[in-house]
Chains A and B, each alone.
Chain A
Amino acid sequence: MLGLTKRDTILLLVVAALTLFAPFILNPFPEGSAMAQFNAGYPDLMQRFVIFGIFAVGFNILFGLTGYLSFGHAAFLGVGSYSAVWMFKLLSMNVLPAIILAVIVSGLFAVIIGYVSLRRSGIYFSILTLAFAQMSFALAYSVLTPITNGETGLQVYTDDPQYLMGPDSPTVTNLFGLEMRATYTLDLGPWSFDFNAGYYMCALIMLIAVYLSIRIFRSPFGLMLKAVKSNQQRMNFTGLNTRPYTLAAFVISGMYAGLAGGLMASMDPLAGAERMQWTASGEVVLMTILGGAGTLIGPILGAGFIKYFENIFSKINDTVLHQWFAFMPDGLEDFMVFLVHPFIGKGWHLTLGILFMLVVIFLPGGLVEGGQRIAAWVRGRKSAKADTATSKTEPAE
């Protein structure tokens, strides 16, 4: 289907089903129950899942295929957001022109940064991209205040020109009248599920982004990018110019980041310089490695995993812990709360850090490798049973 192999089509359909039914999947616990705080099916968070999914899928095209580790991808995210908000200020609150401009501007930005940074490889490339991103951050934060509104952040004001704004146009972000914040809530007994227009638009765009990424992975161009990672010397002596290949990959992943930035602004028409900070660049690196760099689905898993931790674990506080351990004798209860306390609330980074280390050490291929190992183990058990039944032997070579 759509020029994909059967396996890739199934993968895409699984991703499509997961995103389509995410409001159900992420809200498994009834409203008001003790476990309800683990529900992640509210519009804000679901939007962030898919937006950061797009960001990580794009980053993976550069890092996963060519092996060039960019530490400055947040710059494109920020550029995308600023461009989108400017479209809201100049035209109207329709998200379509905003998203298109975000992708174009971040692409142009990526051509410049990539052209300079790709003159070096390895750690020097990473440092160059980091330097560029920090420069962009500094520019956005202070020097370019007329464009970026400095530390306040860029937002839409009532006295903005908004040339395409009609008298009865919506004043919130919308897609040809469909408001991004529009949410239909389905109550089923104690359960409650939110279906948000903005989320579904982002999810659809993510599916397109994933589809394009699969096509790139399976193309001759994608093969060349893998070859860049494997052996540049052999590439050069096989008549292939590595420079345009790496630049193209850099620009494509920059455009993905800009798209993510544009979508962020479309969900919430704000853009601040902190979106470009190096911690944001580091986050997408973590997402990709945690999920599995160079795999198709890994970056999305990683993005979901990190965003879940950031939003759910950070909300658990000592009161919640005391509820959990209430069944224990008093002294023990306090002790358990004392033990767990550093890993929750503001300490969620600690939990994430430990998990990240465990994954990198024991599953270098990320969560995807974990899944493959489980699948292989299950299959191994099945075939072990089949083997004893037929006791088939392979001919030796």
Chain B
Amino acid sequence: MSILEVKGVNKRFGGLQALGDVNLSVAENTVHAIIGPNGAGKSTLLNCLVGKLIPDTGSVMFDGQSVLGRAPYEINQMGISRVFQTPEIFGDLTVMENMMIPCFAKRDGAFEMNALTSIRSQRDVLEQAEAMLADMNMIDKREMLAASLSRGDKRRLEIGMCLSQQPRLLLLDEPTAGMARADTNNTIDLLKQIKDERDITIAIIEHDMHVVFSLAERITVLAQGTPLVEDTPENIKGHPKVREAYLGESA
């Protein structure tokens, strides 16, 4: 059964057809990769899923409910978390504070006027945040400022923050972009572990074929705003249309 249904989505920026009649179905508890050359519309599609952009036509259903017209925070509260291409974390706050914020968001909702309760008394949130930091192997960095972390650790922290909301769908936008090989492999291991240990659906946009073929169970190839093929990794590898779209880029 599919958790995310995209049907007939179109998006135009002036004269540019960024997305043309995109249909996509992501099955529950799978890892679904969306690949394609630069400018294929991958990020535009992702932005349409999380409420950053509104498609001109078409529908986006998450778990039977439409996400269109909802604010990003509402879509997140429905159960979709997003990891950005450059890690979006709270740089001025400590790692522990970074981890507490999604825990509060999960517990208290989009807004809570708890101005006179002390953070120290919120044991449930503190425990949850610490457990997640331990899972991410970052417990020794808890008092560090998030901005001072290495690129790989920032990514780990961001993924941990998304996971601590217990989302049903995790969207990853080129999670290994600009990473060294070792960091990339660490991230792949982390994502594999997440996939094995949790009931979670992962949709991933990626350029790095090594990452895609290590993780994905289904792959959709996007070219010029339209899905070319959707299939298993084995079938995608030798698909002539895919080779044509990449035109030597990965061949």
List residues of chain A with CB under 8 Å of any chain B CB. 3, 5, 212, 215-216, 218-224, 226-227, 229-231, 233-241, 244-245, 248, 252
- Taking a contact as CB atoms under 8 Å apart, the answer to whether B115 and A223 are in contact is no
Cα A224 to Cα B122 with chains together (Å) = 14
Tell me whether B104 and A223 are in contact (CB under 8 A).
yes
B90 beta carbon closer than 8 Å to chain A: yes
Question: Ordered nearest first, which 10 A-B pairs have the shortest CB separation?
Answer: A239-B76, A230-B90, A241-B110, A221-B115, A244-B111, A234-B88, A236-B72, A239-B77, A230-B92, A239-B105
Contact between chains at B81 and A220 (CB < 8 Å): no
**B251 CB–A CB distance under 8 Å:** no
Q: Give the residues in chain A near B82, CB-CB below 8 Å.
A: 237
| CA A218 to CA B121, docked complex, whole Å | 10
Could you give, for residues 110-140 of chain B, a 1 whenever the CB lies within 8 Å of some chain A CB and a 0 otherwise?
Answer: 1111111111111001000000000000000
List chain A residues, Cβ under 8 A from B125: 220
Residue pair B116, A219 in contact (C-beta under 8 Å): yes
CB distance from A333 to the nearest CB of B (A): 52
* B contact residues around A221 at 8 Å (CB): 112-115
Contacts of B84 in A (CB 8 A): 233, 237
Instruction: Judge whether A241 and B93 touch: CB under 8 Å.
Output: no
Q: Say whether A218 contacts B165, CB under 8 Å.
A: no
Judge whether A218 and B118 touch: CB under 8 Å.
yes
Which residue from chain A places its CB closest to the CB of B111 in the assembled complex? A244
A248 to B115: give the CA distance in the assembly, Å. 10
A234 → chain B closest CB, angstroms: 4
Q: Which residues of A contact B111 (CB under 8 A)?
A: 240-241, 244-245
Q: How far is the CA of A290 from the CA of B125 in the complex (A)?
A: 36
Interface centre among A226, A229, A234, A252 (most CB of B within 10 A): A234
Inter-subunit contact B72/A237 (CB<8 Å): yes
Q: Nearest Cβ distance between residue A242 and chain B, in whole angstroms?
A: 8
**Known contacts A220-B104, A238-B81, A241-B71; 18 further A-B pairs (Cβ under 8 A):** A3-B121, A215-B116, A215-B118, A223-B93, A227-B90, A231-B89, A234-B161, A236-B76, A237-B72, A238-B101, A238-B165, A239-B74, A239-B106, A239-B109, A239-B165, A240-B105, A240-B110, A240-B111
Contact assessment for A233 and B120 in the assembled complex, using a CB-CB cutoff below 8 Å: no
A240 and B92 form a contact (CB under 8 A): no
B91 interface residue, CB < 8 Å from A? yes
B40 → A minimal CB distance (Å): 23
B50 at the interface (CB under 8 A from A): yes
B102 partner residues in chain A, CB cutoff 8 A: 238-239
| B90–A219 CB distance below 8 A | no
Given contacts A215-B116, A215-B118, contact A238 B108 (CB under 8 A): no
Q: Is the CB of A230 within 8 A of B93?
A: yes
Query: A219 and B114 in contact (CB under 8 A), knowing A224-B101, A239-B73, A239-B76?
Result: yes
Which residues does chain B contribute within 8 Å of A245, judged by CB atoms?
111
Q: For the complex, give the distance between the alpha carbons of A216 and B88 in Å.
A: 25
Which residue on A lies nearest to B122, using beta carbons?
A220
Sample 11 A-B pairs with CB under 8 A, ordered by A number.
Answer: A3-B118, A218-B118, A218-B119, A220-B114, A221-B115, A223-B101, A226-B93, A236-B76, A237-B81, A237-B88, A238-B105
CA distance A92 to B187 in the complex (A): 70
